[in-house]
Amino acid sequence: MSFHESPITFVSHTGLLVKDLERCKSFYRDILGLKLLKGTESKADFSADGEKPLITIEKAGEVVPKKAGAPGLYHMALLLPDRSDLARFLRHMLKSDYPLQGASDHYVSEAIYLADPEGNGIEVYIDRPAETWQWNQGEVHMTTEPLDANGLLTVGNDKDWEGMPAGTVMGHIHLQVIELKETEKFYCKGLGFDLVNRYGSKAIFVSSGGYHHHIGLNTWQSRGGEPAEDNTPGLNNFTLILRDEAERGTTLQRLKEMGTTIEKTIGGIFVQDPSGNRIKLATA
């Protein structure tokens, strides 16, 4: 079963504002291994399959420094098709000598963490088979243990890393938010996600269609913070794919009844969560 195609609601794309476009372009192409799909002097779209954009970086205008404790991106997560792909990526990172921030076994997945040159968090991961995940009363079991890197490196030796494989998707996004009560209401009642994990008292995870999570939300460093101002480097927006126009209409009506402002532009329909994280609502 695919957790990243219709009728499931999923994250398809992340947009970032950056200070140094050329430096970031080099990272996403040469280190992360994505294909430059389209580029201008102020913007670049990156893809794994050469067709669908996964990440867009855009040069910020008059840069407004990010305030300490501001909400925004914790990390965006690229889901690889196979464990051998993750092994090849790890070998590539070790050879490139680019700094890693961590490597974890979450029981449902295996993950490697790093950041782009401007500190935007990135997770590269693979899922364990969904039939092995443990559920208890609607909550999925997730943990954080050290990744068995040595064991991982024993697989995928049949070929070298050749960049992000074509089947790579935006597996999930993890956000920093100001608080959790209204945030949970927005994502579950408003957008229609299911709450699938309370990770202590400062983080929740939501998903559609029985996935372990499409969106993570935490207040670890951002509780009580102020939303980022325009032109602050970091998260610009992310895209949610809804099943069809009927579902988008129903979702927008729920959000409107909750007092959410609906922004309709040439680029699409956007809303903001209670922490100011901007979301594009698109359809399959």
Domain assignments of the chain as residue spans, ordered by start: 10-283
Residue 280 pLDDT: 98
Which runs of E-coded beta strand occur in the chain?
10-18, 35-39, 43-47, 53-59, 72-79, 102-105, 109-115, 121-127, 135-136, 139-140, 145-146, 169-176, 194-198, 203-207, 215-218, 234-242, 263-265, 268-272, 278-283
Residue 116 — φ and ψ, nearest 5°?
-75, 175
Tokens 């207040």 correspond to 219
CA distances from 47 to 78, 165, 168, 249, 274 (A): 11, 10, 9, 29, 30
Residue 70 pLDDT: 92
Instruction: Give the torsion through C-alpha atoms of 5, 71, 99, 203, to 10 deg.
Output: -70
Residue 164 pLDDT: 98
Contact of 195 with 123, CB cutoff 8 Å = no
Beta-strand relationship, 169-176 and 215-218: parallel
Determine the 3-state secondary structure of 43 from DSSP. Answer: strand
Provide the residue-wise pLDDT of the chain in tens; the chain has 284 residues.
599 999 999 999 999 999 999 999 999 999 999 999 988 999 999 999 999 999 999 999 887 788 888 999 999 999 999 999 999 999 999 999 999 999 999 999 999 999 999 999 999 999 999 999 999 999 999 999 999 999 999 998 888 899 999 999 999 999 999 999 999 999 999 999 999 999 999 999 999 999 999 999 999 999 999 988 888 999 999 999 999 999 999 999 999 999 999 999 999 999 999 999 999 999 99
DSSP string, 53-87: EEEEEEE-SS--PPPTT--EEEEEEEEPS-HHHHH
Contact of 121 with 75, CB cutoff 8 Å = yes
- Which one, of 16, 20, 213, lies nearest residue 109 by Cα? 213
Query: How far is 123 from 256, CA to CA, in rounded Å?
Result: 33
pTM of the model: 0.97
Query: How far is 282 from 191, CA to CA, in rounded Å?
Result: 12
Any idea which fold 10-283 has? 2,3-Dihydroxybiphenyl 1,2-Dioxygenase; domain 1 (3.10.180)
- Which one, of 73, 16, 10, 157, lies nearest residue 27 by Cα? 16
DSSP string, 93-115: HHHHTPPP-EEEE-SSEEEEEEE
Residue 156 pLDDT: 85
Residue 216 pLDDT: 98
